[in-house]
Amino acid sequence: MDLQLTGKRALVTGGSRGIGLRIARALLAEGAHVAIAARDAERLAKAAAELGTSGHPGRIVTVRADTGDDESVRAAVREARDRLGGIDILVNNAAVPGGLQGGPAGPSQTTDQQFTDAVNVKVLGYLRTVRAVVPDMITQGWGRIINISGLAARNSGNFVATARNIGVVALTKNLADELGRHGINVTVVHPGITVTERTPQLNAAAAQAWGVTVEEAERRQAANTAIGRAVTAEEVADVVTFLASPRSVAITGDAVAVGGGAIGPIHY
């Protein structure tokens, strides 16, 4: 299937590693031009070099952005727009890993600052990038916005992660209702436990918390999925790439779970 992405221009926040980097690679493979945004200039340069050696030189640019700061976001979007010639696709992916630094905490143990930091970077950060790109999308009469959230939106156990991901869902649906008449589709993707470069560290932390071996921690996590394993960042990127394409016109305002099928719950 031709996803009709050749020549489309995409901005991927949090694009220097993990799921964001794989999304950038998948969009490039379909012929898109991509700007990756992150705070760390050194990591951005490394990511761009990696993408360039993957066979996509000349169609990847980098911009520094802190989604926790509105002026930084606006400057980054201006730079991406100037260097790409416009923005057709926005993938919001920048976030504090895991919801907050220091691991999950219950509501009664969560500080104001922990909650504010996580929501500021992810929910408000996503809103900031949307505000910056939407005027041009409206003018051109077409756009795709994909917000990366997470299956913590459907589970307790990490209050900050749950709250911020639910906030992203609410933002997505309201944007879809507002922007659909302008040819702009807005969707949210919920990755579950996903294999990235951080996986060994996360598995070790889970094993320590549960008092088991790393192998047992991996087995327990895999047992919670219908496919019997964690999905890869590349598999998440495949879904996002479809949603970024003109082929996804029938999907907007909805959440797409990409976690290998959670055992038990029924969501409708």
Residue 260 amino acid letter: G
- pLDDT tens track of the chain, all 268 residues? 899 999 999 999 999 999 999 999 999 999 999 999 999 999 999 999 988 876 665 689 999 999 999 999 999 999 999 999 999 999 999 987 754 444 556 888 888 888 898 899 999 999 999 999 999 999 999 999 999 999 989 988 889 999 999 999 999 999 999 999 999 999 999 999 888 888 888 778 777 878 888 888 888 888 889 999 999 999 999 999 999 999 999 999 999 999 999 888 888 7
| pLDDT at res. 196 | 84
Q: What is the Cα gyration radius of the chain?
A: 18
The amino acid that residue 266 corresponds to is: I
pTM of the model: 0.93
69 neighbors 121 (Cβ within 8 angstroms): no
Residue 103 is predicted with a pLDDT of: 53
pLDDT at 207: 79
What is the DSSP annotation of the chain? -----TT-EEEEETTTSHHHHHHHHHHHHTT-EEEEEES-HHHHHHHHHHHHHTT-TTSEEEEE--TTSHHHHHHHHHHHHHHHTS-SEEEE----GGGSTT----GGG--HHHHHHHHIIIIIHHHHHHHHHHHHHHHHT-EEEEEE--GGGG--S-HHHHHHHHHHHHHHHHHHHHHGGGTEEEEEEEE-SEESTTHHHHHHHHHHHHTS-HHHHHHHHHHTBTTSSPEEHHHHHHHHHHHTSGGGTT--S-EEEESS-BSS----
Contact predicate 156/162, CB 8 Å = yes
CA distance 170 to 217: 32
Structure confidence at residue 191 (pLDDT): 95
Q: What pLDDT is attached to residue 56?
A: 63
Q: What is the pLDDT of residue 236?
A: 97
Is the CB of residue 197 less than 8 Å from the CB of residue 18?
Answer: yes
